[in-house]
Chain A
Amino acid sequence: MIIKTEIKKITILPGVNKLGEKENFEKIEINKGEIVAIVGPTGAGKSQLLYDIEKLVQGDSKSKRVILVNDKRASKKLRFEPKRKLIASLAQSMNFLTDISVKDFLILHLKARGKKFDSELIKEVIEEANEITGEPILSGTNLLNLSGGQSRALMISDVANISTSPVILIDEIENAGINKEKAMQILVEEGKIVLIVTHDPVLTFNTDKRIVIKNGGIVKILKTTLREKGIGHYFNWVGNYGLEIREKIRKGEKVEKVKLFCESIK
């Protein structure tokens, strides 16, 4: 059973931190297609926040937070449906372990999600993955033979297009071999709510805001400034330029010169 309720917006209402003090914010709204970063030291309470969102808590978790869906309290049915998985996640280590071709794997995933075979969708997943990675993925390639960058690109495109979970959690994404800004763009275009646990400047400054967690509580919400966005773009350019050089090295070319200045953002 797939839950019919479309999630357009999630609202976090304040709870308490580990010391029992009330969190100092009125509410945090995250809309469909929005990216929010979660930052803070290890053990600060990032997992609790993700748990609260996944379980759509109503003041009944340790943090006492309340999560609203589309401005309303979540129904019992939506909260406790065992097959519902609100959050899909992209973890740090990203390798496939299934011995199968890219195309057959995507078909298998479609089936697991209770969807019908759709050759157009499968084509789109592969095409979008190829926009994220430098080396093109072919539909007949075995998953185990994909490079790290190709695997990550395919996973991101697959999560954007095939997973039904409306919220995507990205935990310190391993970034070798992928265009990070492009990857985020694809997730957002598919109408996902994207939460990123990261301290990477490209990913952090590519978001609209970041939630800062300390001692089990949300201590502040920082809006990403124009200046920070510029810094993020600069690091993304450096990363992508690095991808170009990687491709040259892969092809056996010599690299004697390097560009020092960032090109304008397209």
Chain B
Amino acid sequence: MKLVIFAGTPGSGKTSVIKYVIQELKDDYSLFFAKFDCLKTEDEKFIAERYGIPTMKKLAGELCPDHYTALEIPKIIKENQDKDIILLETAGLCLRCSPYIKEGLGINVLDVISGSPDRYGPILTEADIVAISKGDLISQAEREIFRTNVLRVNPKAKLAEVNGLTGEGTIDIVEFIKASPEIKTEKLTLKHSMPSAICGYCYGNKIIDEAAVRQRYLQGKELKNLVPNLNCGKCGFKSCNEFIRAVLDGKAKKEQCPFIKKNN
């Protein structure tokens, strides 16, 4: 099985590129596509209908969408053992997280008019493939300057110039996917650690005040020690952290978590 993760800022052309890639791969491989987003998406339905492959959507809601993606990857792999290639599309909101997996293939779809590549963190610097999109909007010279800058910040990257409207560059991406390694181990590793999420704001604090942040952090920490951190979903929330926030916001009761209830 191969695991391919597409990351890129919203509007960079991820979905358009993925559609062409699926079109090209679907006859020869059994595919699964998972779309991660924050609030709303219908892309998974569209892709399932048009290309006839199984898809799913995952909405992160109150969670950091990239942390959520990392949390969900093992489940997706477990449920799709019969597939040849799993394609994941991240929400693409954070340049810092972008959960690329060492054992899989990480593709950054990078909009050529998004400015200097120096501003990007791991989403670009840790990608195996950088798919430069919308190159037709600028000149050859500007494209060459952009390519040079991309290779400066990520010298190991393989480059492809893609066009989500015409499908140009799809063949390159497909070849890179075909040449990518199979996942052999059960334990996958992130290419880079995600940023810390350890303050009161992570537990849902809204008051801009040092004391309020600290208080909310301590309350959160206390609950964090009580929950199983298994994200089992029995409380009705997608993850333990989301549940903790709801409890602190007064939207849920502690006892909704069967583990807390049992231990009391």
Contacts and interface: CB of A to CB of B under 8 A. Distances in A.
Contacts of B159: 82
Given A51-B172, A82-B158, A82-B159, A93 B144 contact: no
Interface residues of B, number: 22
Contacts of B142: 96-98
Contacts of B172: 51
Interface residues of A, number: 31
A109 B144 contact: yes
A4 B166 CA distance: 33
Interface string B71-115: 000000000000000000000000000000000000000000100
B263 interface: no
A91 B144 contact: no
B168 interface: yes
A97 B138 contact: yes
B253 to A, nearest CB: 55
Nearest to A164: B144
B182 interface: no
Q: Is the interface of B mostly helix, strand, loop or mixed?
A: helix
| Interface-central residue, B135, B145, B167, by most chain A CB under 10 Å | B145
9 smallest CB-CB distances across A and B, nearest first, come from A112-B148, A91-B136, A112-B145, A109-B141, A155-B139, A51-B171, A158-B141, A88-B140, A159-B140
Interface of B: 113, 135-142, 144-145, 147-149, 151, 158-159, 166-168, 171-172
Given A62-B171, A155-B140, 10 more contacts: A47-B168, A48-B171, A88-B144, A93-B137, A98-B142, A105-B141, A112-B147, A113-B144, A151-B139, A163-B144
24 contacts: A47-B166, A47-B167, A47-B171, A48-B171, A82-B158, A83-B151, A88-B140, A88-B144, A89-B140, A91-B135, A92-B136, A95-B137, A95-B138, A98-B142, A105-B141, A106-B141, A109-B141, A113-B144, A155-B140, A155-B141, A159-B140, A163-B140, A163-B141, A163-B144
